[in-house]
Structure 1
Amino acid sequence: MKHLPYFAILFFLLLFFSSCAGIQYLSIETREPAQVTLPAEVNSVLVVNNVVKQPDDIGHNIKRLGKKQFDNIKVSADSVAIFYTEALAQFLDEEEYFGAVKYYQKPLRSDTDFWKELPIQPETMNELRRSTATDAIISLDKLLLQTEWVDFFQQEGVKYAGLTGKIQSVIRVYLPSMEGKIPSIQFHDSLKWEGYDTRGRLVFAELTLPTQEEALKQLAVYAAEKMTKVFSPHWERQDRWYYTHFNSRMREGEVYARGNQWLEAIEKWNEFYTREKKMLNRAKAAHNIALAYEMLDEMESAYEWATVANDLFRQSTSPSSLERRRSALFKKEIERRRDASRKLNMQIQ
């Protein structure tokens, strides 16, 4: 049997060690606080629809194939406010933050003045709270919708187009204890679609463009999901990473991390951090320890180790290095989460 030449052995060794030293990514879910902190006595809320249906001829344009100018078209916004408020009530209920989330089936507005906002009067608010046995009212007080359709080309008799939908809304929280100060939340956003305008035909089904009416309802549900995060603590998915190394202690820490045994991982990574001489490797171990403390929801310790890691990366890498920038972002995120956890603890007590 022939022996491998020296350079081949060296190549395989380098390949082995490079596979053992690197970065492993993972996705985590973080508990984020509500953006608006309601008084502690608010245990139940009522979601209501307090807008007038948008007229069909307001806010919708189309640029047809071969045309340079947009034309105004009619698009029905029927039931969009209902989709919005029903979805908001459902999403809030699913978060299980409030003791009870109720939905008022009947729209409060019976007039036709679309452009005018009419906040709920105190006597109406008190009557709604009394009749539904709720502590506060979350009311959709304004809803403005826009769509813009552009035809791009036609293939086999079917148009390929783009659709942009925009939504603006105002939600107010009515509380009897606010002494006339009504929290108001404004929301502005848009969604875009692109595909074939099949209008019920089966061709190109995988790239079907929604109708403007369908897009409005999707916008409403999208806005309701965003508003849920305003009023209720919620979960967010984020990406994290930890460093791997061919050192036995680092490898043991990685094994524990994969099994969600974060205390044991900290012990091994800390042993490596204490004994290691190379500053860059110490920085990576410190980062791993910070991540482990974050996973244990010990945000003060996580921030302390993220600071240590960032300082070490700053000392051992160039100003433009990816590791230094990545470490700075991680430290900032841990600082944000540390401050957010304090707010969250106040909200869920």
Structure 2
Amino acid sequence: MRAFKKIIISLAFGTLFSSCTSLLYTSLDVLRPAKVAFDINANNLLIVNNTVKQPIDYGHKTQLLNEKQKSVLIATDSLAIFCLGSLTEEMEAKDFFPSVKLIPNSINESVGFESITYIDEDKVKKLCLENNSNVILSLNKIKVNDDLNEYYINETSTYLSALELKFETNWSIHYLNNSKPSSIQFKDTVYWESESYIRRKAMADLPKRADALVDGALSVGQKSISRFVPYWEKVDRYFFYSSKKLMKQGMDSVYVKNWNPAIELWKQALNKTKSERLKAYAANNIAIAYEILGDVDKALEFATISYYSFGQLSLVDYDSYIRISEYVTELAQRKKEMKILKKQLGN
């Protein structure tokens, strides 16, 4: 079983009034599976820079107001180092692998930037043995196209300057005893804009281009962590509040996080009432409580009951109906994700 840093779910409550319906919303952390799964036996990770430097005259364009577009020269030779440094720091913080090591300087001796050269089997074995690793995550290419543009907005009589960075990265995963690597590609965009009545100020308020490229590379590394290891995502959930006795007693238990007593009270309300609206409210609340307890199957069961109860109403709160519909869809997706997570975590 993989080690994974335990996150304590924190609940922050607030009240929302929507179409005469009183809601109590809360936020919780949900574990999402990685986009790419490592072999469960891959324990000691080695992150390798296998890139060729992007030429200084490649991909840098400037389009100033009333001028022709021109290419500019910018050194991007350190982008891979910043990207991998950021990724390594995030990977270490996750505690997903017992050990994480980084080779920051490129091991790639080729000169062709456009082509991709993967680490060969002999090199994989050598690197793994030298670094006591059994899996390599290799960055084989990082390419950026950056555009600096300047506009005049007639409606507001202002100048707008925009800097957009479009990154493309190619990665591969290599195992010590497996000659077939898996390859994946990602695209990321980082964007800044500045608006002012003064043309020079609009441009000056943007970050310096070289600094922006470094920030962009760091951002790519940070974003990549959720592609390679499971990650926590904050989501909002909405309890229905009702003045009915059992519903209210259930909510009193929520405030002190007594989820099982709350569920039992809401189940009583669900079974005793003839009101489809109250059934919808109670079933929704039960679903959320079960999700917080980690029982996604039960959560989906009662969210579905809530959805169909809302459908029986002759006069339905449209916002509530859409919200429960989306919740059912999300729980169904979470159920699929749980199966993937079990494989990724070795449960």
TM-score, normalization by structure 1: 0.85
Q: Are the aligned partners of 1:309 and 1:327 in contact in 2 as well (CA < 8 Å)?
A: yes
State the 1:45 CA deviation: 0.7
Matches within 5 A, 1:1-349: 22-67=22-67, 69-152=68-151, 161-180=161-180, 182-195=181-194, 208-316=205-313, 321-348=318-345, 349=347
Q: Indicate conservation of the 8 Å contact 1:20/1:245, yes or no.
A: no
| Letter in structure 1 aligned against 2:121 | P
Tell me how far 1:21 sits from its aligned partner. 5.0
1 CA distance for matches of 2:330 and 2:19?
28
CA RMSD of aligned residues (A): 2.7
**Paired letter, 1:295:** I
Structure-2 separation of matches of 1:340 and 1:18: 31
Provide Cα deviations, 1:90-111, integer angstroms capped at 9, x if missing partner: 1111111111111113311233
- Specify whether residues 204 and 248 from structure 1 end up closer, same or farther in structure 2 by C-alpha distance, changes over 3 A only: farther
- Residue 317 of structure 1 and its aligned partner are, at CA, apart by 5.4
- State the Cα distance separating 1:291 from its structure 2 match: 0.4
**Residue 19 of structure 1: how far off its partner (Å):** 11
Contact 1:20 1:244 in 2 (8 A): no
Q: Structure 2: 5+ residue runs without aligned partners? A: 1-16, 154-158
Check 1:309–1:128 CA distance in 2 against 1; reply closer, same or farther (3 A cut). Answer: same
Q: For residues 26 and 69 of structure 2, what CA distance do their matches in structure 1 show?
A: 46
Contact 2:19–2:317 (CA under 8 A) maintained in structure 1: no
Query: Percent of pairs identical after alignment?
Result: 28
* Structure 1 Cα separation of the partners of residues 317 and 73 of structure 2: 53
- 3-state SS of the aligned residue for 1:316? coil
Unaligned runs of 5+ in 1: 1-16
**1:183–1:317 Cα change, 3 Å:** farther
When residues 87 and 145 of structure 1 are mapped into structure 2, their CA distance, relative to the original with a 3 A threshold, is same
Counterpart for residue 3 of structure 1: none
Letter in 1 for 2:76: A
Q: Deviations for 1:228-285, whole angstroms, at most 9, x for unmatched residues?
A: 1122111111111111111122222222223222112212211211222110121111
8 Å contact kept, 2:247–2:269: yes
For the structure 1 residues 218 and 278, does the alpha-carbon distance in structure 2 shift closer, same or farther, using more than 3 Å as the test? Answer: same
Secondary structure of 2:307's match?
A: helix
Deviation at 1:293, TM superposition (A): 0.3
The structure having more radius of gyration, on CA atoms, is 1
**Residue aligning to 2:10:** none
Secondary structure class of the residue paired with 1:46: strand
Q: CA deviation at 1:325?
A: 1.9
Change (3 A) 1:177 1:332: farther
User: Deviation at 1:339?
Assistant: 1.7
Q: Taking structure 1 as reference, are residues 18 and 320 closer, same or farther at Cα in structure 2, changes over 3 Å only?
A: closer
**Does the 8 A contact of 1:249 with 1:269 survive in 2?**
yes
1:50–1:347: structure 2 CA closer, same or farther, 3 Å change rule?
same
> CA, structure 1 residues 123+328, in 2 after alignment: closer, same or farther (shift >3 Å)?
same
Distance across 2 between alignment mates of 1:319 and 1:271: 23
Does the 8 A contact of 1:55 with 1:77 survive in 2?
Answer: yes
Q: TM-score, normalised by structure 2?
A: 0.86
One-letter code aligned to 2:294: D
